[in-house]
A and B are shown apart, each in its own frame.
Chain A
Amino acid sequence: MKTGAAILIESLKEEGVEIIFGYPGGAVLPIYDELYDAELTHILVRHEQAAVHAADGYARASGRVGVCLSTSGPGACNLISGIATANMDSVPIVALTGQVPTGMLGNDAFQESDITGITLPITKHNYLVKDARDIKMTVKAAFYIAGTGRNGPVLIDLPKDVLTAKVAAEEVLSGEPELRGYKPTLKGHSKQIKKALELIYNAKKPVIYAGGGVIAAGASEEMVRLAELFCLPVTTTLMGLGAIPAVHPLNLGMLGMHGTEYANYAVSESDLLIAIGARFDDRVTGKLSHFATHAKIIHIDIDPAEIGKNVNPDVPIVGDAKSVLADMICLAEKKGCISEPWLEQVKLWRKNHPLRVVNDGKVHPQNIIRKLSELLDGGGIIVSEVGQNQMWTAQHYGFKKPRQWISSGGLGTMGYGFPAAIGAWFAKPDETVVVIAGDGSFQMNIQELATVAQYKVPVKIVILNNMYLGMVRQWQELFYDRRYSYTELPSVDFVGIAKAYGIQGMRVDSVDQIDEALRTALDYDGPYLLDFQIERGENVYPMVPAGAAISEMIGKHNHNGGSDT
């Protein structure tokens, strides 16, 4: 006879789970009791939101399914932002939650919440397990659903009596879960693929627009090969950064609201847009009716619901990006550059409208990111918080590879970065993991300094401290007449706080300290916090105002000036 909790742990191990991020409570005591001597690492975070973000960071860095665990009621509710974050960015996680005993379900019992009901719209799927015999099959199904097709979060709610119930080994349901309604299409339709190739052969101004789907599918290599085959310039979304090396001659960087001028010009002028694993998000397209108006559109996506959602493509291809792109390369008849003049034009834009940085002796965030990129040679795992810090990092870090850049794209969750960085390090302990944070975002999960200290997680914390909720302040400056309503943050002694947790840190006030400070942090054997006092009024430019066309950027000629728009 085995308890439900024991079956759960066994099932997780069978799925190859090595690490769980969690926080205990009454409803999950049976699981914690099993964990006490299980050969499974459990990381005790200091807030359940950090557990789910860490599982998410682990998943993004490794490409595997991340796992988090919380108790019922308040614990489960603390997972919500993290589950929604993973859902928006299609990250495979399995969230395990405790629940009151089945006999009390629906009674408003102590620490009860209808977590399957609450998470219905933000999970790929969820389960309430009512019988211990179903645990193994449910876990199997959950991991399969989370990590196949369009990845996403799956939640399993486990009532306490199900966890304590004793079941004979032969009664445990096993085998392959029956999922009649779930059959992701992986292979692209060959007729559509041929049609897409025809469009490419005939294009004069083609652009690839690559999203996070390229990275999720492990299709970066194929994408770059296709681009090279026909000399197709590539722009990526925030989620797609790293799909093509920053220094690749065909790379145009990010497009959209804070995209590069040249990417936005190229997309606006293009006559063929090849969207791969990207969803035409409004932060990318700007005013939709003005987006790539001259372009025919090929849309490759594993999720049929993404196709035609915002933009009606000329050639829709449902399938796994890796498989579709491999087929495209295989079936390609013509080879070689299809349009030299277009490449020249794009190169000219890139030369004439670079992202600008100033070297005026002040501490500018762009320079910090560039220096970091230089010191790490474009390597490491770079995690960001949300806001200006996120955009500066996206613009200026020279990513080389997929799964190097971890950031909350779809939901834009402040407080995501720090715990996600912890999860990422557990996935890739040999990598240098850096979290780039705003002083606002960092304070949303600052308690995780305790986790970092306890487990000696050597993440490097880079705070770009402007004593503002910077990105919101930027909008207030530009669109609300500089009425800085509740966006000013008082100065915080971050180094002192770090020290209180037993973590080393340094405050940086002047430009000549930047290099030295970054080196110190990177060389230090352990976690390290850097508190950069950056120019307070610095803005992220260029910028497409909400609702404008992406070719209508502001702040093009003085990217660092702040208020000259």
Chain B
Amino acid sequence: MKQHIISVLVENKAGVLARVAGLFSRRGFNIESLAVGTCETPGMSRITIVVIGDDMHIEQVKKQLNKLIDVIKITDITEKEHVERELAMIKVHAEPGSQRSEVMQIAGIFRAKIIDVGAQTLVLEITGDSEKIFAMESLLRPYGVLELVRTGRVALQRGSSGSALRQ
């Protein structure tokens, strides 16, 4: 069992996400993370799925994904050189005064942005790999993390050998 990062290029149509996600749930896979958005080609979207499973099962899922009419291309980038990012927003309890400046210091170290300031709260925006987000979250925990939201991981292969269409 290991983590796989699968990048799926799909038609940008209603219901496609349900088709893709459905294939994983049917086989009892837990999706670790899933991120979708439009991509470089109009009319297409790229889905990045992080899933844990043994190689044979993942191979089957990839083949099954390929059978979906709206799936254009699948790349398993786990073993390929790639860059990976995730964005998180964290609303943390921060009373004006020393507490707030400590939180701002932590934000500075992690190169996080402060995107909202409330009477007793700050909202931080952080991008990075999962470990970085996790590390910052644990540092902020003692102050009181009120809400946290993550986009899910997105990944791209490095260099010129992209996963884009080559037809």
Contacts and interface: CB of A to CB of B under 8 A. Distances in A.
B11 interface: yes
Interface in A286-312: 303-305, 308-309
Given A125-B69, A304-B63, A305-B63, A181 B10 contact: yes
Interface residues of A, number: 17
Interface in B45-74: 56, 59-60, 63-64, 66-73
Interface stretch (A116-124, A405-413, A512-520): A116-124
A121 B26 contact: yes
Contact of A305 (B11, B26, B60, B73): B60
Nearest to B59: A308
Interface stretch (B15-23, B104-112, B151-159): B15-23
Given A121-B22, A305-B63, A145 B15 contact: no
B15 A305 contact: no
Contacts of A145: 69
A351 interface: no
Contacts of B60: 305, 308-309
Interface residues of B, number: 21
B50 to A, nearest CB: 22
A100 B10 CA distance: 28
Contacts of B149: none
A120 B22 contact: yes
Interface string A21-40: 00000000000000000000
B14 interface: yes
A128 interface: yes
B56 to A, nearest CB: 8
B15 A182 contact: no
Contact of A181 (B11, B22, B64): B11
B18 A120 contact: yes
A168 interface: no
Nearest to B60: A309
Contacts of A308: 56, 59-60, 63
Given A305-B60, A309-B60, A180 B72 contact: yes
Contact of B15 (A128, A180, A303): A128
A181 B60 CA distance: 18
B63 A120 contact: no
A182 B14 contact: no
6 contacts: A120-B19, A120-B22, A181-B10, A305-B64, A308-B56, A308-B60
Interface of B: 10-11, 14-15, 18-19, 22, 26, 56, 59-60, 63-64, 66-73
Given A121-B22, A128-B15, A145-B69, 13 more contacts: A116-B15, A117-B18, A128-B14, A180-B11, A180-B72, A181-B10, A181-B11, A181-B68, A181-B70, A181-B71, A305-B64, A308-B56, A309-B60
10 interchain residue pairs of minimum CB distance? A305-B63, A181-B72, A125-B69, A182-B69, A181-B71, A180-B72, A305-B64, A304-B63, A120-B22, A181-B70
